[in-house]
Structure 1
Amino acid sequence: MSIITQSKRISSKVLNLKSNKNIHLYSSVTTNPPKESIISSSSSILSDQSTSSSTPPETAAAATTGGGGKGQPWSFLKFSLIAAVTGGVATAGYATYAYSLEEVYEKTKALRTMKKVSIGDDLSSFQKFQTMLKSTAITVPAKLVELYLEMRESTEEHVRGFTEPLSDKLLPDLHPQEQHVFTLVLDLNETLLYSDWKRERGWRTFKRPGVDEFLEQLAQFYEIIIYSDQQSMYVDPVVDRLDGNHCIRYRLSRAATRYQDGKHYRDLSKLNRDPSRILYVSGNAVESCLQQENCVPVKPWKCESDDTALVDLIPFLEYIARNRPGDIRHVLASYNGNDIAKEFIERSKEYQRRMQEQKQPGRLWRR
């Protein structure tokens, strides 16, 4: 009995010890969980996710750094090229605005002559390399300047075809026997005729009163030229019908004008005639001619039936042709601001009155 009782006691103590150890272990797990097992498990989870989903942080950082290093030189080169092109375009634009082609030729002459740098054979490798760099630094700007000059010269020549008269000598030389003859340049619209358009009938051209008498009378004394800013396809058929007696020698149309400030001007300096012997008659003389000192303004005609401007001007023009002043520009300057036809009549009357006054004392003296 004692043996059995002792064994039971021993077994009960063992059970109590095991139960106490389990309780202690359970409380330690719940209150202070082991950190090493959690950290190892979480790091394994993170490592699994990063491996399966994307590149590790170290690899991504290295890739980012490597990409930025390769992109920086290309970005610098790109912006340098943009800055160089922008500066070149700005410089070319300023030079075009501020200087003529001849001035740019003169200012860049030194640069264009320095573009060739010879490399001597007696130089060292380093000196040859320096000379080659210097030659490249000079050659590139010089070539660009030459390219700019060629492009500008070509462009200006193309523009001159639209803005300049088609020739420096619009008329052939005068015959030697006609060197004393004055040249009478006539505008067409609102001077010799008037063109009107209406919807029900379209374009119609009306001839100014007295134009036939004007042309026939003055063709005896002058070389008569038509100088219009209209196209030749309009000028030629109109003049053919206007000048049935062939009083007009030459016809000049828009191609012979100078385009300036949005308008087509008559340039009398291109007529191949002595400027001291040219008269330009127009209803818009001052507004349409570059040589205002040669202008003979008349009233613009717009189909007034009682107009006599051309007929009234005949006496003045006949007087000029017969007396042949040394420079017609001085004569026209004396009429500046006045109606030439009316002022000439007044001066003629005044001249006759003075002549009569000079003759009257002589008669009294003879008596």
Structure 2
Amino acid sequence: MFYRQKESSRSTSKSSLDSTNEANDGSPVTRATRPSPMRPLYSTTVTHTKKRSSVPGATRSMSLRKKTLVLDLDETLIHGTLSSQCRSYHHAVEIMVENIACLYYIYKRPHVDYFLKKVSEWYNVVIFTASIMEYADPVIDSLDPHRTLIQQRYFRESCIQQGCNFLKDLTIIEPDLSHVCLIDNSPASYALNRENGIPIQAWYNNNSQDEELLNLLPFLDALRFTQDIR
């Protein structure tokens, strides 16, 4: 009996509330200033959901922080020669060597444009070459005319010469060696950081069907998600 009386009381209260709402149906101000006592003023569910969703987002952001991909230039991305070869060259660079003008003809390795576009989406791309700046700078400009793909450039003066070899110390680019790798056709180039070196077959404009750069893309795509690149 008590239970029925309680239900009746609730019904009466709800009826009274409905009546009030109907009486004020034409007054939006009244509705805005008198929220229903049956509903909380704040949605704790929404607030809680936002806090939970922010954590995975932060984790993903940290894991997707771009690593650094260092690329050699000659015989890795291009081939330069003093003599114009049979097929058309892509660029020509004139430099002074001992007061003598030398014209270099530049040939792009097959698929280099697509390769640079893709890896620049995944990595901070750096060119590290043993060539002198007077020669290499305009060649790099021809590969990245809008300067949107390659972040930094290092030349011969940044190398360490040992005999006929030019060694490339990756710590001058990225002190954390777990976040940097070097693609170079010369293994001597990464002798100081062997675990960070990625070999590639040298290209001398002798194979128009070369696919070395394309073959590296799946590997580089996976490598960028590792905690330690070595």
TM-score per shorter chain, which class?
0.5 to 0.7
| In structure 2, distance between residues paired with 1:183 and 1:199 | 34
Residue type of the partner of 2:75? Answer: E
Structure 1 segments of 4+ aligned residues over 4 angstroms from their partners: 176-179, 199-202
Cα distance between partner residues in 2 of 1:272 and 1:231: 22
1:219-298 aligned at under 5 Å gives the runs: 219-245=120-146, 246-284=148-186, 286-289=187-190, 290-298=192-200
Which structure has more strand as a fraction of its residues? 2
Alignment partner of 1:217 is 2:102: no
RMSD of aligned residue pairs (Cα, Å)? 2.4
d(CA) in 2 for partners of 1:294, 1:247: 21
Aligned pair partner of 2:214 in 295, 311, 321: 311
Q: 2:157 and 2:84 mapped to 1: Cα distance? A: 30
1:5-44 C-alpha deviation (Å, 9 max, x unpaired): xxxxxxxxxxxxxxxxxxxxxxxxxxxxxxxxxxxxxxxx
Q: Matched residue of 1:291: which SS? A: helix
Unaligned runs of 5+ in 1: 1-175, 330-367
Give 1 or 2: higher helix fraction.
Answer: 1
Structure 1 residues 271 and 199 mapped into 2: Cα distance closer, same or farther (>3 Å)?
Answer: closer
Give structure 2 stretches of 5+ with no counterpart. 1-60, 86-101
Confirm or deny: 8 A CA contact 2:165 2:188 kept in the other structure. Answer: no
Q: Percent identity?
A: 32
Q: Is 1:186 equivalent to 2:88 in the alignment?
A: no
CA distance in 2: counterparts of 1:297 and 1:272, whole angstroms? 19
- Give the aligned partner of residue 48 of structure 2: none
Q: 1:229 to 1:277 in 2, by over 3 A?
A: same
Give the superposition deviation at 1:319: 1.3
CA distance in 1, matches of 2:84, 2:149: 34
Q: Find the structure with the greater CA-based Rg.
A: 1
- Rounded Cα–Cα distance in structure 2 between residues aligned with 1:177 and 1:249: 21
Q: Helix, strand or coil: the match of 1:302?
A: coil
Question: Which amino acid in 2 is paired with 1:185?
Answer: V
1:348-367 equivalences in 2 (<5 Å): none
- Deviation track 1:48-86 (CA, whole Å, cap 9, x = no partner) reads xxxxxxxxxxxxxxxxxxxxxxxxxxxxxxxxxxxxxxx
Amino acid at match of 1:257: C
Amino acid corresponding to residue 213 of structure 2 in structure 1: L
Amino acid at match of 2:130: D
Change (3 A) 1:178 1:261: farther
Q: Which structure's relative contact order is higher, taking Cα pairs within 8 Å and 6+ residues apart? A: 2
* Structure 1: distance between partners of 2:170 and 2:226: 19
Question: Structure 2: which amino acid aligns with 1:315?
Answer: P
3-state SS in 2 of match to 1:247: coil
Deviation at 1:199, TM superposition (A): 8.2
